[in-house]
Amino acid sequence: MTELRLFDYHLPEERIAQEPAEPRDHSRLMVLDRAERSITHHVFRDLPKLLGPADLLVLNDTRVIPARLQGTKRGTGGKAEILLLEEMGGGWWKAMVRPGRRLPPGTEVDVAGGEVVCLVGERLPEGLRKVRLEPPLGAEDLGRFASYALPPYIKRYPRDPERYQTVYAKVPGSVAAPTAGLHFTSRLLDELQRRGVGLAWVTLHVGPGTFRPIRTENIKEHRMHSERFRVEGEVLRQLSRTRRQGGRIVAVGTTVVRVLESIADQLDREAAGVEGATDLMIVPGHRFRAVDALITNFHLPRSTTLVLVAAFAGRELLLEAYEVALRSGYRFLSFGDAMLIV
């Protein structure tokens, strides 16, 4: 089950949500029970009734940075776009540049009418480049000059850019939001805790791989971009306690799944924390060792996220659920509705 064509379905353009639900927790929630092979329909604010007091909800507290710079090539005026990915020190960043072939090392790009100059540097692995900003800008300085790098299927920039952040976003570093978390409100998180559901946060900075389509017919040949993560020691202990007490580890989003499955061997160890990078590509046949349930959105056809969710839910059952969602008026992708898989 490694052929890309097996992870395809028809997604009409009008089913792609262009704006998030208001309030956040009024989005719809499909519950997919793997054991019963059943599908039920709820609203996201029903989540406290669907989880138990022994369960642990694990969320990604990364914060999206405005990382998309648009400018003009000095000397020719040609349009250029730089997507900043990771600070390297001294004003240098890892970045994606477009159009790459027309921006050789040494090219200067004027941003904001020349208030910022971006020097395109050497080529890096995975199709990335080094770029230097002058004056040197850190993530906290980009707001005046850059915008969020929204997925290409979102045609309108949100009226309130904070709607592309989770309410618990804390650690700057992502170029895209961990969108399963966009459904939570502070009130809903408080209600979950009142009912005894545990909350834990990990950090994974979402990189350009979230926009990168699978181009290999054999999905196992696709290579994920490496993404940085951090899990604190107290979270490792929460995960271990949940296991011992018979609760479920409920991952909020595919980013959390990739973190937890990457450190599955370390969940029961006493450690100060785990920090590193993961390029884990989860495909059907993967043995899940750290995740018992998953909250996720409805994903693009032929995408790495759809493949991951199919590995967790079962491909046939998941695609059946997607057919039901399309017939039932669910909204798809980043600003769309949600699914809880148990």
- What torsion, rounded to 10 degrees, do the Cα atoms 163, 326, 13, 216 define? 90
Q: What is the DSSP string of 278-321?
A: E-----TT---SS-SEEEEE---TT-HHHHHHHHHH-HHHHHHH
- Residue 33's beta-bridge partner residues? 38
Does residue 268 surpass a pLDDT of 80?
Answer: no
Does residue 232 surpass a pLDDT of 90?
Answer: yes
Task: Output the pLDDT for position 266.
Answer: 85
pLDDT tens, position by position, 138-182: 888 888 899 998 988 999 888 888 999 999 999 999 999 999 999
Q: Count Cα neighbours of 315 within 13 Å in the Cβ-side half-sphere.
A: 17
Q: How many CB atoms lie within 10 A of CB 3?
A: 10
What domains, with CATH codes, occur in the chain? 4-64+158-341 (3.40.1780.10), 68-144 (2.40.10.240)
Q: How far apart are CA 292 and CA 250, in angstroms?
A: 6
In percent, how much of the chain has pLDDT > 90? 80
Does residue 269 surpass a pLDDT of 80?
Answer: no
Packing angle of the helix pair 304-313, 254-262 (nearest 10 deg): 70
Q: List Cβ<8 Å contacts ≥24 apart for 321-328.
A: 321/30, 321/32, 321/39, 322/9, 322/298, 323/9, 324/30, 324/39, 325/30, 325/298, 326/11, 326/12, 326/15, 328/41
Mean pLDDT of the chain: 94
- The strand pair at 56-60 and 249-252 is best described as parallel
Does residue 90 surpass a pLDDT of 90?
Answer: no
Does residue 208 surpass a pLDDT of 80?
Answer: no
Does residue 270 surpass a pLDDT of 80?
Answer: no
Q: What single letter denotes the amino acid at residue 61?
A: D
Token pair 């540097």 is found at 121
| Cα–Cα nearest to 305, from 229, 226, 214 | 214
Q: Token digits for 1?
A: 């089950």
> Which residues fall within 8 angstroms of residue 337, CB to CB, at 6 or more apart?
17, 21, 27, 28, 29, 30, 44, 297, 298, 325, 330, 331
Token pair 């350009």 is found at 208
Q: What single letter denotes the amino acid at residue 8?
A: D
- Residue 92 burial (CB < 10 Å; 0-12/13-18/19+)? middle
- For residue 160, the 8-state DSSP code is S
- Residue 229 burial (CB < 10 Å; 0-12/13-18/19+)? buried
| Cα–Cα nearest to 197, from 244, 267, 248 | 248
